[in-house]
Amino acid sequence: MDLARLRGWAPACLLLGVFLAAGPAADAQKVAIDFDRYHGYTDTVKYLKDVARAYPDITRLLEIGRSTMGRPIYVLVISNMRTGTTIDRHVSLRNMRREGVKNVPPMQPYQGKPGHLITGATHGNEFTGTEVCLYTIDKLVIGYGTDEIITRLIDRKTFYILPMINPDGVFNSVEKGIVQRQNSMQKDDDGDGRINEDGWDDLNGDGRITYFRYADPAGRYVLDERDPRIMVRLDRDQRTEKPRYSMIMEDRDNDGDGKHGEDTEAGIDLNRNFPEGWFRDDGFAGGSGDYPTSAPEVRAVAEFLTNHTNVLMAQNYHTAGGFTYRPMGTAPHPALHPKDVAVLDFIMGKKYLELLGEEIPDAWQKPQELDKFKAELKEAAKNKYAVQRGYELPRGWRVSYNEEQDRRYSYGMATDWMYAQYGIFAITTELWNPARDIPDLPDLPAGSGRAQVERALIKYQEEKYGGRLFLPWAKFKHPQLGEGEIGGWLPIYRNNALPGPPLRKVCETHWQFELFRAGLLPEVVITDAKAEILYGADSAREAAASLQGDQVTITKGKTKGSFRVIKVTAVIANQGKLATHVARGAQLPGNREDVVWLIGDRDKMTFLQGTPFQVLGVLEGTERIPGYRSEAGRAASPPTGAGQRRMRMPISMPGYPMPFRRGQRLEPTKAAGTGSTRTATWIVAVSDDTPLKVVVTSQKGGAKVREIKVR
């Protein structure tokens, strides 16, 4: 690999002409950013640091781990740093033998607000997602204080933006121009005992790695009849009268084994290394790793989500295609609870198709007629899952599971892992469909094939980019393969939104979509909290109250002080659109139901009725879920079979103290109410004037605190 030459090729080469200049920067944009070029690793990091410095009140930059090559993996937190609370601020862990020991890192206030995670570049060559992350950051920080909806979101929710899961892949793809999907773990791809011994090479020394094409009777390509710059790929058994060509990356056989570029710096595929449905597979480029989270980049994400448990919404950006995968890819349709299906398809999918301008399935328009659609599909549908749902999934909103052949698509994927193990509405959007996302692409009749799109794209880059994205083919004699030509697309443009207006359009559409999804997050509030004195007495500092059955016994002491029996009532409501968990989210091992605490000086209060925290369960949201009838109405078909087992539903109830003595269960009281509202009542005996407060903690719906005034 001729790195010395490549080093001279600075990312500045990618700077495009001023004709793509952005509109006038908004006044509030303290950190300038435009989308007329790709930012790559270096400028993305610089931007994140600049934003964190410029907006200290609403951002925090976290380094959540390091890549294989030692590059930091950053999450930019965007949330009002002065609002929010967490339970550990109100209940201190008590070490009875060594009081005052503090060895648990405190939670941050933003962890007590509903969270929305957006990631980019799990695959290093798919960095359009990194750009959408940066665009999203820009919109959020500029909108804070100027846009009412954005301000409200940043005050009450938490955005976690992770622009590059795979910084090494991004660096190699953008800064070095050597596209790299995988991470950079040392891997002997061809099993010859040597590592990274044959990467791609800049054969003609122009500072870029493009393609080499050469006449080859066994080749899989022919030249396009209308534009011989275009290579048309043949199907495996396709016959042709035209001369055949082969096309490889610019590359020489460095180790003389007769193979080209067989062992580059690329390591493993990060989107096959997450701990959901993982199995070892070295049968494709990079493989899935030695064990789940064996990649440091994946481990960083896994640790981050494990200790940032407030995330209910997530997006993992990839390229390309211009559609979204919602869960799941590793399991068939029944693995999802019908309520989650309805939230994903009828609410999110419908909005997504609207934003793309694509046709929305009839069933999504008329969810009240779902039974009719199901009956119709029974006659016509190609797959049984479509019949169960009442609709085929549209092109723009699909699953990677192969429903027609009833076969899993893949394994170890981030989105499945987030949904199945953390209860997150996680999706994967494959950004970029040039035929749709380039507003002024020339000469493209509807339903155009690949070659037609390619012709239009080449013409477009000639007109708008001065022909810099596609190099003309030039004769070159390859040291091993003989005569041929070097040229073609600069590889980074093959799978990413072209910078300038096309990239901005992709960014804007997906920013709008994630803004919409953020607006669905739950919002748990204490709508009312009051206390009334049922009984009061003086001279009772040492008073104690105890409860046996329904009998309260009060024992007054001798020294001076006051003593009161107080009834506290708190009303809690979820005022957000979605429930505080996905349908079975509270049953997942790392998750817990919502609870409400009554907190005061524990040495001065005795709970007579109601446990210190009471269970709220899962608070429903305010949005009616179209296309879903809850168990209360008509039972929605319960998930069965392998899918349900795969969700690892536990056999015990989550989250409560286990019985500490045989035969006696210490179970918390359940608050009254259903739907989105609960009422919790306590009766406590309190000595002196210890202040009381109610704290509601919902893992994904937020934590709130309210001081109690005793009347």
Nearer to Zn ion, 431 or 685 (CB): 431
Q: How far is the CB of 122 from Zn ion (least distance, A)?
A: 6
Residue 2 binds to Ca ion (criterion: CB under 5 A) = no
Q: How far is the CB of 493 from Ca ion (least distance, A)?
A: 15
Residue 202 binds to Ca ion (criterion: CB under 5 A) = yes
Q: Which residue type occupies 440?
A: D
Cα separation of the two ends of the chain:
78
Q: Please state, in angstroms and rounded to a whole number, the distance separating the CA atoms of residues 173 and 178.
A: 5
Nearer to Zn ion, 187 or 318 (CB): 318
Q: How far is the CB of 8 from Ca ion (least distance, A)?
A: 13
Q: Where do the H-state alpha helices sit in 89-200?
A: 128-143, 148-156, 167-170
What is the footprint of Ca ion within residues 131-190 (CB under 5 A)? 188, 190
Nearer to Zn ion, 126 or 392 (CB): 126
Residue 345 binds to Zn ion (criterion: CB under 5 A) = no
Q: Which stretch binds Zn ion (CB under 5 A): 120-128, 167-175, 349-357, 526-534?
A: 120-128
Residue 123 binds to Zn ion (criterion: CB under 5 A) = yes
Q: How far is the CB of 73 from Zn ion (least distance, A)?
A: 17
Residue 36, binding choice from Zn ion, Ca ion, none, Cβ under 5 to 8 Å by partner class: none
Nearer to Zn ion, 229 or 395 (CB): 395
Q: Which stretch binds Zn ion (CB under 5 A): 54-62, 313-321, 381-389, 699-707?
A: 313-321
- The only residue of 36, 126, 138, 340 in contact with Zn ion, by rule CB under 5 A: 126
Residue 524, classified by CB atoms within 10 Å of its CB into exposed (0-12), middle (13-18) or buried (19+), is buried
Among 465, 209, 431, 458, which Cα is nearest to 325's? 431
Nearer to Zn ion, 126 or 594 (CB): 126
Residue 485 binds to Ca ion (criterion: CB under 5 A) = no
Q: How far is the CB of 493 from Zn ion (least distance, A)?
A: 16
Nearer to Ca ion, 253 or 358 (CB): 253
Q: Where do the H-state alpha helices sit in 381-524?
A: 384-389, 414-422, 434-437, 450-465, 501-518
Nearer to Ca ion, 198 or 430 (CB): 198
Residue 253 binds to Ca ion (criterion: CB under 5 A) = yes
Residue 530, classified by CB atoms within 10 Å of its CB into exposed (0-12), middle (13-18) or buried (19+), is middle
SS (H, E, C) 315-360: EEEEECCCEEECCCCCCCHHHCCHHHHHHHHHHHHHHHHHHHCCCC
626 DSSP assignment = T
Nearer to Ca ion, 432 or 476 (CB): 476
Q: How far is the CB of 476 from Ca ion (least distance, A)?
A: 9
What is the footprint of Ca ion within residues 53-82 (CB under 5 A)? none
Residue 265 binds to Ca ion (criterion: CB under 5 A) = no
Residue 664, classified by CB atoms within 10 Å of its CB into exposed (0-12), middle (13-18) or buried (19+), is exposed
- The only residue of 36, 131, 168, 198 in contact with Ca ion, by rule CB under 5 A: 198
Q: How far is the CB of 192 from Ca ion (least distance, A)?
A: 4
Residue 254 binds to Ca ion (criterion: CB under 5 A) = yes
- The only residue of 192, 216, 358, 376 in contact with Ca ion, by rule CB under 5 A: 192
CB 270 within 8 A of CB 276: no
Q: Please state, in angstroms and rounded to a whole number, the distance separating the CA atoms of residues 256 and 172.
A: 24
Q: Please state, in angstroms and rounded to a whole number, the distance separating the CA atoms of residues 460 and 442.
A: 7
Residue 272 binds to Zn ion (criterion: CB under 5 A) = no
Residue 318 binds to Zn ion (criterion: CB under 5 A) = yes
Consecutive H or E run containing 60: strand 59-66
Residue 318, binding choice from Ca ion, Zn ion, none, Cβ under 5 to 8 Å by partner class: Zn ion
For residue 392, give both structure tokens.
């085929």
Among 155, 308, 233, which Cα is nearest to 704's? 155
Sequence-ordered list of residues with C-beta below 8 angstroms from that of 452, at least 6 positions apart, any chain: 443, 444, 445
Size of the site for Ca ion (CB under 5 A): 18
Among all chains, which residue has been given the structure tokens 């004699």? 477
Beta-bridge mates of residue 233 = 221
Q: How far is the CB of 151 from Zn ion (least distance, A)?
A: 33
Nearer to Ca ion, 77 or 179 (CB): 179
Among 33, 45, 9, which Cα is nearest to 490's? 9
Residue 126, binding choice from Zn ion, Ca ion, none, Cβ under 5 to 8 Å by partner class: Zn ion
391 HSE (CA, 13 A, CB side): 22
Q: Which stretch binds Ca ion (CB under 5 A): 242-250, 360-368, 518-526, 583-591?
A: 242-250
Residue 257 binds to Ca ion (criterion: CB under 5 A) = yes
Residue 326, binding choice from Ca ion, Zn ion, none, Cβ under 5 to 8 Å by partner class: none
Residue nearest to Zn ion (CB): 318
Q: Which stretch binds Ca ion (CB under 5 A): 249-257, 357-365, 450-458, 474-482?
A: 249-257
Nearer to Zn ion, 47 or 317 (CB): 317
Strands (DSSP E) found in 508-612 = 524-538, 544-548, 551-555, 562-574, 594-599, 605-609
Q: Please state, in angstroms and rounded to a whole number, the distance separating the CA atoms of residues 365 and 344.
A: 14
Residues of this chain that bind Zn ion (CB under 5 A) = 123, 126, 318
Residues of this chain that bind Ca ion (CB under 5 A) = 188, 190, 192, 194, 198, 201-202, 204, 206, 208, 250-251, 253-255, 257, 259, 263
